[in-house]
Structure 1
Amino acid sequence: MYYLGLDIGSSSIKAAIVDIASGKSIGVVQEPEKEMSMFAQKNGWAEQEPEDWWKHVCNAIKKLQKQYNISANSIKGIGISYQMHGLVIVDENGKPLRKSIIWCDSRAVKIGNDAFNVIGEETCSSALLNSPANFTASKLKWVKENEPEIYSKIHKFMLPGDYIAYKFSNTINTTISGLSEGIFWDFKNDQIADFLMEHYGIDKALVPDIVETFGKQSVVGAKGEKESGIVAGTPIFYRAGDQPNNALSLNIFKPGEVAATGGTSGVVYAVTDSLSVKESSRVNNFAHVNYKKGADVRIGKLLCINGAGIQYRWLLNNLAVDSYENMNQLAENILVGSDGVCLIPFGNGAERMLNNKEIGTRILNLNLNNHHKGHLCRAALEGIAFSFVYGVEILKSDGIKPKVIRAGNDNLFRSEIFAKTVSTLIGQEIEIYNTTGATGAARAAGLHEGNFENFGKNIMDNDHVMTFKPLNDKAPYLEAYNKWKKELELILNKK
């Protein structure tokens, strides 16, 4: 018997099957094979068709069943992970009224910033744990202001994962974790953020019913069965945004546990039991998957680094190198500190952790007589690693005391230079696991039974790859980091 996990990304849909008894991953597929398209009618906009997500979900399920010989009636539950902060609005028949405004769309920045200034930093920090910023609530306000005819027809708003669950079940609901990522949740009073809804003039009737993150949220209906191939009556047991779900996939639930991701962008996601917020302008705070209303406070502090893997990929595309492996080998021949070459990797737009400043990528201290592409490769890995360390320092200033750090076995964390640099500078082991968001969502479907201990054991038994330990000789790493940090602060002080 199996659980099905889905990861609804903006690039692709991933579907995974895990064995219920052992928690072992049976297989993962992706749809479409090439990246999904985005619509950008104006600069800074990003939209996708919700129906396209559903089409690719159905295709992925069929591919998964065929490739791994999985019968429909052997799937006993569904878990869903999804791209955070997106907005889906539907009419009373459940039909989308417009394309989804997705996470990387920046049209609502001014709306959120204005709300932050009017409502006040103290209220936003203590109740929302964030600025309203460019999150889902602000995007809904943008629709109200700019597309009033569409807004007047809204029956409910949803997050992307809510919409996929609805397509399976014909039932509209959401979770506290989901509402918090949209900045609809008042943590101070443990309820929907009425004051923000009133400020934006949004009717509370548009909010879906709230269900537990783990539990029988809904079941597949007749239409869902016809389109997806999943048997009617199959329960949807779990739903969460991609970053909380990535943390769950790495068995991150307790205060002091930290999940790290080193993909196109980098993420450091730390769990705390405190509602105290000191860095709301640089760190996002959401209800973690195991947050309980009126009970366990579990907040996920999310620090994003836009300029991470995209920097290393740019070098791959523009240097005379064959692969990341080739780049890593070139970097290994260069000593710590890259012989003075310093790379500031923030070339992927504004960086929230730098107070939304856009400083770009900078290569400093390059000597054309002595330095070559090996120095650039090492400097890039070190520069990205240093940005992670800088981010951890911000989280520490916000009250986080890392006890455990875990990361997926992908992208940057496959580089020994990168992983050892981060581990050594923060003085913490980094455990590497071979897992995916879709696999984590599939396993999480079993948490409706509440067996978190067994869930963690399955991850440890099946997925652990290696552990990077801090090196004894920290001095050269610290010297290189301090030089990098000095260069960064010189740039920031000029902005």
Structure 2
Amino acid sequence: MTAAKRVTLGIDLGAGSLKATLVDETGTTLAEAADPIVTNSPQPGWSEQDPADWWAALCSAVPRVLEQAAIDAGQIAAVGLSGGAHIAVLEDAAGQVLRPAILWNDQRSAEEAAELHARAGDLIIEKGLNRANPTWTLCQLAWLQKHEPEVIARTARLYISKDWLRSRLTGDWTSDYSDALGALMSDVGSRGWSEEICGLIGWPVESLPPLRQPWEVAGTVQAEAAAATGLKPGTPVVVGSNDTTVELYGAGAIAPGQGAIKLATAGVVFLTTANPEVHPPVSCYPHIMPERWYMASGINACATAHRWVRDTFFSELPKEDAFAEMDRMAAGVAPGSDGLIFHPYLMGERAPHWDPKLRGDFIGLTLGHGRAHFARACYEGIAFALNDVLLAAKALSGATFADMRLLGGGARSANWRQIIADVTGLTVKVPDNGDASFGAALVAAVGAGIFATPEEAVAACVRIAEENVPDPGRHAVYSRLFTLYDEARQGLTPVSHRLHDGD
């Protein structure tokens, strides 16, 4: 391979935007471009997107990233894609999309999920490693069979989100095991589709794509797609994987015990493991690294709670200035916020309590507290909630944590990073690059032969930009406060339920 062909393009379809990133063989980001994606909610609890919007965003972002990097499309050695798990696109025999794609956070299939778990929960967990709930494609398809049978009758092919986008580039029809598992329709024994699970809803296995490794070349950019995107015809495109899988990989958390915390709209905790760790409702997925797996679970309100505190207590400032002032003021308050404790349950809570009726609160308020205390208590409360997930993972699986990679917009705050390190007692590392589009580009680099193995790509390209080591004294303070945080959560749970129910 010539030196001019040692650049790869990673494309990630996120919940709110599509991002394209060009990366060279050293892991240096050459350029980035993103376009927003609109989510529609036709009914309460529903969440859908039009796949045509995904393709339009790709056709907008890719030419811009090429222009920003000032490189010719012929220099791209390969393209890698990632996208949200559990998001199915249904096509008819003529290749027409039959309906909008149902997203992972859609709740319409709760009844079908409960029925599937009651009827065959043990089988689904044994083969699919996860419990049926409305997040998973299996349950969404069961809902469609009941409510939109005409769509199901016309379905000839099922794609997962990143696979449908890739098919617009190459014309191929394939997927990877991580996305098959994310559909909750796979078999851990064969690492293929499960006829038994599909049979629970009468789903024809022949409508499901063949499975290949994420770094395998699925096809090449076709002439029509090249004209629409600015890519060169014949450019290899690898299979790719779902966004959380490539994100964890791109952060360099590839050895057992290495994990990541993502400070995004929701807060997510990941842990790389040597073997499948099956502890529903905690999710279990295959890693990009062969013979590796990872656990994933999270809290409902992370950046959401952060934004709420900003908008509530710092509303007189422009939004970006408000974040900076909130961070500055929080840094000036001693650990523990002078006894002010925040439970960030503004949207109920997922892990580890799985209680949609929990309410957020500030407790311990005195006349001595000002908005600087509320700012720091916000950071600390979210850190306590994430620590709650970590402790539950340890209790469930006996897992040990070596270090945590910190991802997402919140990782830019040195103050927040240190609070997370001090609360958890773990060293927190911030990768120089660490989002899903970067991870997708690394997977593409393996497929292009720039690197011989996924491990080699991480060794060459992943660098740690910042590191926060826990302070023993502050960790001791936070350990005592976490006990109060948890006791208060237990004591206030009945009150939360009564408030939710209108009692």
Query: TM-score, structure 1 length as denominator?
Result: 0.92
Range moving further from structure 2, 431-440 or 413-422: 413-422
Matched, 1:17 2:16: no
Matched, 1:264 2:265: yes
Amino acid at match of 2:432: N
The answer to whether the 8 Å contact 1:130/1:284 transfers is: yes
The answer to whether the 8 Å contact 2:404/2:426 transfers is: yes
Cα distance in 2 between the residues matched to 1:15 and 1:31: 9
Q: Which residue of 2 aligns with 1:457?
A: 459
Range moving further from structure 2, 145-154 or 216-225: 216-225
Cα distance in 1 between the residues matched to 2:413 and 2:28: 26
Q: Which residue of 2 aligns with 1:416?
A: 414
The answer to whether the 8 Å contact 2:300/2:345 transfers is: yes
- SS of the residue corresponding to residue 84 of structure 1 reads coil
Range moving further from structure 2, 149-158 or 250-259: 250-259
The 5-angstrom pairing of residues 402-441 of structure 1 reads: 402-408=401-407, 410-435=408-433, 436-441=435-440
Q: Which residue of 1 aligns with 2:117?
A: 116
The answer to whether the 8 Å contact 2:85/2:242 transfers is: yes
The answer to whether the 8 Å contact 1:347/1:361 transfers is: yes
Q: What's the RMSD between the two structures over aligned residues?
A: 1.8
- Closer, same or farther: CA 273–123 of 1 in aligned 2, 3 Å: farther
- SS of the residue corresponding to residue 216 of structure 2 reads strand
- SS of the residue corresponding to residue 398 of structure 1 reads helix
- SS of the residue corresponding to residue 444 of structure 1 reads helix
Q: Which residue of 2 aligns with 1:361?
A: 360
Tell me the matched-pair count: 479
**Aligned-pair distance for 1:418?**
2.7
The answer to whether the 8 Å contact 2:305/2:346 transfers is: yes
The answer to whether the 8 Å contact 1:308/1:346 transfers is: no
**Aligned-pair distance for 1:459?**
3.2
Range moving further from structure 2, 186-195 or 426-435: 186-195
The answer to whether the 8 Å contact 2:18/2:57 transfers is: yes
Q: Which residue of 1 aligns with 2:298?
A: 304
Give % identity: 22
Range moving further from structure 2, 417-426 or 90-99: 417-426
Q: Which residue of 1 aligns with 2:385?
A: 387
The answer to whether the 8 Å contact 1:126/1:276 transfers is: no
Cα distance in 2 between the residues matched to 1:237 and 1:404: 30
User: Deviation string for 1:279-307 (max 9, x for gaps)?
Assistant: 302x111222234xxxx2x2221111111
The answer to whether the 8 Å contact 2:326/2:375 transfers is: yes
Cα distance in 1 between the residues matched to 2:16 and 2:198: 31
Cα distance in 2 between the residues matched to 1:195 and 1:116: 14
The answer to whether the 8 Å contact 1:382/1:417 transfers is: no
Cα distance in 1 between the residues matched to 2:427 and 2:243: 24
**Aligned-pair distance for 1:402?**
1.1
Cα distance in 1 between the residues matched to 2:131 and 2:478: 35
The answer to whether the 8 Å contact 2:297/2:389 transfers is: yes
Q: Which residue of 2 aligns with 1:153?
A: 154
Query: TM-score, structure 2 length as denominator?
Result: 0.91
Cα distance in 2 between the residues matched to 1:488 and 1:416: 28
Cα distance in 2 between the residues matched to 1:454 and 1:124: 35
Q: Which residue of 1 aligns with 2:51?
A: 50
The answer to whether the 8 Å contact 1:316/1:327 transfers is: yes
- SS of the residue corresponding to residue 114 of structure 1 reads helix
Cα distance in 1 between the residues matched to 2:41 and 2:396: 36
**Aligned-pair distance for 1:253?**
2.1
Pick the aligned partner of 1:398 from 396, 399, 414: 396
Amino acid at match of 1:27: A
**Aligned-pair distance for 1:349?**
4.3
Cα distance in 1 between the residues matched to 2:383 and 2:200: 41
- Closer, same or farther: CA 285–219 of 1 in aligned 2, 3 Å: same
Matched, 1:338 2:342: no
- Structure 2 gaps of 5+ residues are 498-503
